[in-house]
Structure formats: structure tokens, C-alpha cells
Amino acid sequence: MSDFRPRSNSEILDAAFEIYRRHFSVFVAMSVFAAIPGAISSYIAEPALSLQQPGGLFNSALVSSLALFIAPFTEGSMTCAASSAYLGKPVDFEQSVRSAFSHAGWLFVAMVRKWVLMLLGLTFFLVPGLIVFKRYFALPMTVLFEDNSAGAAVARSRALSDGNGRRIFSLNGGVFVFSLIVTLTLEQTITSFSHGAIAAVGQLLVNAAVSPFGTIVATLLYYDIRIRREGYDIELMAQALDADSPIPSPVSEVN
């Protein structure tokens, strides 16, 4: 893409869609891995519910929990792919996955922390959950692109989100809600016409196709905030990238 300038919300959405369109197969291939546990869980749960089998429901929940271990690396890989596309670099499946796993420990800890806090916040008090959603929107980027530990990544993401709540909610939140509605609608349509393995595969494909777009939007928003706030030349910075890091550590912010 290589067009490093501040963008409006609509321009970010347009750019994200263009990146997704150009590299659709790469993003879907990454997303499939995170969608597999949910599809298997649904396949197991359907007969268990109809036959009232507690053991089947337990197995379904157990399989579904595997997504917790897969999702951080899937999101990290898609984030690296989106970054490469934005910076005008080749988008490579293997390289993106390798970049995500190069920070596997901190990435896993940071993302699980985000999801646990968001779940608790949304379960007991809606507002704290939304605050977590805003503050932690850039966690995978601040781990992967700035080589931060989990704690430092949390602080960095919070700093980037300050003063940008409206944009985060309108872009990330809007895409999340829209993607959720589309996913649920398509899954309901699939299950109304098919059951068992066919329905599970259909749900897997729907999730794999829909979920990458939100990650791409979040990555582009991260870059846009840094361009607006930190005042350095992204193009010169991009020329200094090495093969394993989509972006170097941030320079001091401009007052």
C-alpha cells in the first residue's frame, strides 16, 4: 500500500477492505485455525443438546476452550500480515506466522489478559468492559511491532487509546458489531438448511471469512494514531525494517 498519511475513518475502512481483498486467501487460511475448535464444538454440542447428554456438552466446552490457546497466535499472524500489506511489503503466510510466534509468550499473556478483563467487565458491569475494549485495542501491535512485554504492551496500548476513544469505538466497535451480526445471521441460515458435519463446516467457513477484517482495521488504526501523534516519517521507518519485525520501537512522542 505504502501510502503513509493520516486517514479518515472511511479511508481506513476502504484501505482495510482493499488489503483483505488482495490477500483474502492468506487471511482466511490463518483464520481457519482459530475457527476449527468452534466448528468442532458446535458439531459435538448439537446431538448432545437434543439427546440431553451432559458428557457431550462437557466435551463440546472442552474443545471450544482450545480456541483460547489458538486465537492469540491467529490474531497475531493476521496483524503481522496486515502490517506487511500496509507497509508495502510482501504478505507471506509463513513469515507472518513466524513473526507472531517470535513473541509467543508475551502475546499469549497479553491477549488472554485482555479477554479475561473484557469478559468480566461485560458480564458484571458493561462500562468497564467497554473501557477494556478501548484501552487494549492495540495489544497485539504493541507486543509484536514494538517488542514490549505484556505489562509494557498494556501501558503502551492504553497511551495510544487516550483521546481516541470515539475512533476506536466507531471503527473497531462498529466492525465488531457488524461482523457479529453477519456471522450469526449466516450461521443461523446454514443451520436451518443443514445439520451435523455440513453445518459445522459452513460455520467454520463463515467465521474464517468474517473475522480477519476487524484485525486489519485495528492494525491500520494503530498506524494512523502513531502517524498523527508521534510525528515521524513512517516511510523512512519502513525502509529500516528487518525481516522479523514489521515496525521498530517507537520514538519519543512529539509535544
**pLDDT for 170-228, tens place per residue?**
999 999 899 889 888 887 787 777 666 676 677 778 888 888 999 999 999 999 999 88
Q: Give yes or no for residue 244 having a pLDDT over 50.
A: no
Q: How far is CA 221 from CA 12, 38, 132, 214, in A?
A: 7, 28, 17, 11
Burial status of residue 25 (CB atoms within 10 A of its CB: 0-12, 13-18, 19 or more): exposed
Contacts for 216 with CB less than 8 Å, ≥ 6 apart: 16, 19, 20, 27, 78, 82
Q: Which DSSP string do the residues of 95-143 spell out, in sequence order?
A: HHHHHHHTTHHHHHHHHHHHHHHHHHHHHH-HHHHHHHHHHTTTHHHHH
> What pLDDT is attached to residue 64?
59
Cβ count near 35 (within 10 Å): 23
CA atoms of 208 and 21, how far apart (whole Å): 14
Chain centre to alpha carbon of residue 26:
14
Q: Are 87 and 15 in contact (CB under 8 A)?
A: no
DSSP state of 244: S
Q: Are 141 and 81 in contact (CB under 8 A)?
A: no
Share of the chain above pLDDT 70, in %: 72
Through-space distance between the first and last CA atoms of the chain, rounded to whole angstroms:
29
Contacts for 170 with CB less than 8 Å, ≥ 6 apart: 9
Cα Rg of the chain, angstroms: 19
Q: Regarding predicted confidence, which is higher, 18 or 88?
A: 18
Confidence of residue 25 (pLDDT cuts 50, 70, 90): very high
Confidence of residue 65 (pLDDT cuts 50, 70, 90): low
List pLDDT tens digits, range 86-120.
988 899 999 999 999 999 899 989 888 888 887 78
Q: Give yes or no for residue 71 having a pLDDT over 70.
A: yes
- Name the amino acid, one letter, at 108: F
